[in-house]
Amino acid sequence: MENIRIPIGAWVDTAFDWLKENVAWFFDAVTWLFNFFIEILTDVLVDLHPLVIIVLLALIGWVLRSWQMALGTVITMFFILTMDQWVASMQTLALVLIAAVIAVIIAVPVGILAARNDAASTVIKPVLDFMQTMPSFVYLIPAVTFFGIGVVPGLVATVIFALPPGVRFTELGIRGVDSETVEAGQSFGATPGQILRGVQLPLATPTIMAGINQVIMLALAMAVIAGMVGADGLGKNVVEAIATQNLPLGVEAGLGVVIIAVYLDRVTAALGNAKDYPSSLVAGMRRRAANKKAAATA
């Protein structure tokens, strides 16, 4: 038994070599496309004056959550600015946003498929289990193999690592829609597509948004690890701090990650449950519109 060994690693290495030789055009296209999006968003976030970005982020916090969120955003983002971590923070924010958008674009349709097809769900769940239990550092190995060093392998690894919660929550949300509501739509002659768009997705939105929230949080966690393969941002600063034992740099970069994580968490949570935040600007405008309508009908 001691001499029995299954060379899985060698088989995988052979498969990777075949892919690099025969599908190089695909990896080159992905590299170009991802670089294009990352560079555009990073340039916008870095080139705009920090005060403009801070005001925009605070406005988003006020519109979706509360004026307290807006005030907290101004204070914490100004804190990042004074720590001289602004450029790195914007690079990390760009990476997280692009990765989250790509992950959601993939996750939501796959989750819908899993919710509407039991056979597909049976196949997809073990794949998600594998993706979630695989150590995050391992994703960097194939990413670097196919895309080299830089921001693209970090982005690819981030998308893969952050994808599973989006699929699981989408499936959970759609399967959780009351069957009687779906049957009512069917009784009125609605097609499966109409039921999905008009009944299931609207009712499942809070659950789906909870999944998107988790996608963003995992993307941020992986974006830091992506600094190990050359992705610019706070993760790269953390890696540099570890390599040089630079405690001040590590603390400041870590605080930048925390601030961005808290902001994104609060904003995405408000998107999924807007009615739970009566202090938001949107809620205030709705109340004023309702009051005007009531006064006009009185």
Residue 101 lies in a domain: yes
Residue 260 lies in a domain: yes
Residue 255 lies in a domain: yes
Give the mean model confidence (pLDDT) for residues 91-96: 91
- Total number of domains in the chain: 1
From the CB of residue 20, how many other CB atoms can be counted at a distance below 10 Å? Answer: 12
Domain that holds residue 78: 11-283
Residue 293 lies in a domain: no
Please choose, from the candidates 11, 217, 208, the residue with its C-alpha nearest in 3D space to the C-alpha of residue 111: 208
Residue 112 lies in a domain: yes
In the chain, count H helices and then E strands.
Answer: 14, 0
Residue 217 lies in a domain: yes
Residue 3 lies in a domain: no
CATH of the domain at 162: 1.10.3720.10
Residue 189 lies in a domain: yes
User: In Å, how far from its chain's centre is CA 1?
Assistant: 45
CA distance 223 to 88: 12
CA distance 93 to 89: 6
- The per-residue pLDDT for range 69-84, each reduced to its tens digit, is 889 999 999 999 999 8
Q: What is the pTM of this model?
A: 0.86
User: Which H or E run contains 215?
Assistant: helix 201-225
Q: Is-contact 202 157, C-beta < 8 A?
A: no
- The per-residue pLDDT for range 126-157, each reduced to its tens digit, is 999 888 888 877 888 888 888 888 888 888 88
